[in-house]
Each structure stands twice: as structure tokens, then as C-alpha cells.
Amino acid sequence: GMDSRMKNVVMRLENVGIDVNLLDLSKKENFDRVKDTIGDLFALQKHFAKEEKGKKHTSTFEYFKPGCTHTSYAISLIPHGAREKAFDRYHRTTPYIKEFIKVMNIDSDNSGIGAKRLAQYLAKNHKRVYVNVGNDYNFGMGGIMNEIETAAMFGDAGLTHAQARTILKHLRYK
């Protein structure tokens, strides 16, 4: 059975003429219909946001989750694979990464918290890419040496084990 929150969702959908039996997503035709409808809703909200707020484009879709007291957000994006020019061209007119960061700042007094969280995630989960991009933009980020490379460097410099440990201790806190 459904809990009262889900019954309210079904009632709201039925009130706007949506047959909830069509939402059985195990059937491909229903899945495609729901996917198309969500796309239409994104396009419609984008159209109204453009007219009302004077914005060029928006990829952010605001909605309320059943039982939540705050607005949730979904961001529409188009995958571009390795095509940098296509990404740059699309992102100039539809800056979804900027919108993503802006949404992450909504409930914070710190306007940089969204960018900080994104950077922390990238540094933690995509370390080599993060460092390589930092180097591409001359942020003075060094590469990441593995243990063998580090030992070879210390050996070539003629450092003792104690000297190497001292250097590593200092670097760990930078």
C-alpha cells in the first residue's frame, strides 16, 4: 500500500489529468512518455524564466519533493563527450555549471561555498585531472609523485631517511 504522502502525490497528478497507471516505468512506452513529459516541463520552465526574469537561458528546474519543506533543483545538461568546442559554445549560452554552483550557494551566506564544494569533490575524486587542469591554468600546482618517484628523487638528491621524513612531514601540511 501507499503511505499518505504518496496518496497525495497520486491525487495531485490525477487532478491535472495524469493517469498514474502510465507511470509504470517498467514498460518502455510509459518510460519514454514520462521522459518526454519531463523534457517538455524543462522547456516550458525555461521559456517562462526567460520571459519573466530577462535571462538568456536557464537549465535549472525547481520543484518540490513530496514531504519536503524546501525547493529541490534539477539541472538539465547535454553531454558533449570530448568535443571541447561544442561544450564551450553550448556553455556560453546555457551555463549549467554556473547554475549548479549557484544552486549550491542558495542556503548559505558564503557565496563561494558551491565552488569550494565542487573543487573539493574534484580534488578528492579526480585528483590527476584536477592537478593537470590547475597546471594548465598556471596555478603552480605540482604533479603527483608516487612512492617510487619520490624515493628516486630523494635518493638522487643524496638525502638520508631522516631528511626525507622531515621534508615529507612539512609537505604534508602544505
pLDDT tens digits along 11-48:
888 888 888 777 777 888 878 888 888 888 877 877 77
CA distance 152 to 163: 14
Q: Which three cell numbers stand for residue 169?
A: 612531514
Radius of gyration of the chain (CA): 25
Q: Which three cell numbers stand for residue 135?
A: 597546471
Q: What's the gap between Cα 70 and its chain centre?
A: 19
Q: Coil, strand, or helix at residue 162?
A: helix
Given a cut of 60, whether residue 54 has pLDDT beyond it is no
Give the total residue count for the chain: 174
Compare 50 and 6 and report the one with higher pLDDT: 6
pLDDT in tens, 67-106: 677 777 777 777 777 788 888 888 887 788 888 888 888 8
Question: How far is residue 134 from each of residues 53, 97, 122, measured CA to CA in Å?
Answer: 35, 18, 11
**pTM, to two decimals:** 0.57
pLDDT in tens, 153-169: 999 999 998 998 898 88
